[in-house]
Amino acid sequence: MARPREFDERAALEAASDIFWTKGYEATSTRDLMARMGLTPSSMYAAFGDKRRLFRRALDHYLERLREKMSYLEANASPGEAITGFFWDTIERTLGDALQRGCMLVNSALEVSPQDAELCGAVAQELKLIEGFFRARFSEGQQRGDIANTHSADNAARQLLAVLLGIRVLARVRPERLLLTEAAGQTLELLGLPPLPAAAASAKRSLRRRS
């Protein structure tokens, strides 16, 4: 019994997520947001609350896709390939992004004030989720016999998480294929995980995607 919304909330969130991802929280103004989301202040504030709460939802929206990637790999690849595939996907996507936005989660992890318990906690929890993904896959691979029992899954997961985050930092300022693939590849190799596709193959692949 009232006027219906003229905009798609999901699409608006997607737009908001995009700007926040590109420019960061502080550097994004509410006017940037309204322009990109195609909303007037009234609509935006009514639908999403203030800037902070909108950011929270935009981040969640971004993270949802990250979680989907993990689920997909868990369901459609062997444990070892799931881990390697995660790194491969991360590197290829990062190198393919002309805007060099890196990862919104990592960007947020460093921009968010440690005093902001709620946002900080959300980021921390998501990192634990990724760590858990690594640990579960690694452990599963060990039970299967694909992966050697030389190292504990706990430590392997911690190491993989650190390397992943490091790669995302590096990619932001030094988007060099060799640097990223070798940093990841070396770690995968030492842990007895499947290697990344050769540079030539992955280059061809990203070329195909671009066209």
Partner DNA sequence: CCCAATATGGAGCGGTTGATCCAAAATATG
Partner DNA sequence: CATATTTTGGATCAACCGCTCCATATTGGG
- By CB under 7 A, name the binding residues for DNA: 1-7, 28-32, 39-43, 45-47, 50-52
Amino acid occupying residue 149: N
Partner interacting with residue 170 (select from a copy of itself, DNA, none; CB below 5-8 Å by kind): a copy of itself
Residues of this chain that interact with a copy of itself (CB under 8 A) are 23-24, 26-27, 99-102, 106-107, 109-114, 120, 123-124, 127-128, 151, 154-156, 158-159, 161-170, 172-174, 179, 182-187, 190-191
Conformation bin of residue 171: beta by default, left when phi > 0, alpha when psi is -120 to 50? alpha
For DNA, which is the closer residue by CB, 39 or 171?
39
Partner interacting with residue 190 (select from a copy of itself, DNA, none; CB below 5-8 Å by kind): a copy of itself
Partner interacting with residue 127 (select from DNA, a copy of itself, none; CB below 5-8 Å by kind): a copy of itself
For a copy of itself, which is the closer residue by CB, 12 or 141?
141
For DNA, which is the closer residue by CB, 56 or 158?
56
The CA distance from 26 to 149, in Å, is 45
Other beta carbons within 10 angstroms of residue 200's beta carbon come to 8
Q: What is the dihedral of CA 98, 100, 103, 109, to 10 degrees?
A: -160
For a copy of itself, which is the closer residue by CB, 190 or 198?
190
The CA distance from 61 to 26, in Å, is 19
Q: Is 79 exposed, middle or buried (0-12, 13-18, 19+ CB in 10 A)?
A: buried
Q: What's the closest the beta carbon of residue 85 comes to a copy of itself, in angstroms?
A: 18
Contact status, residue 187 vs residue 159, Cβ threshold 8 Å: yes
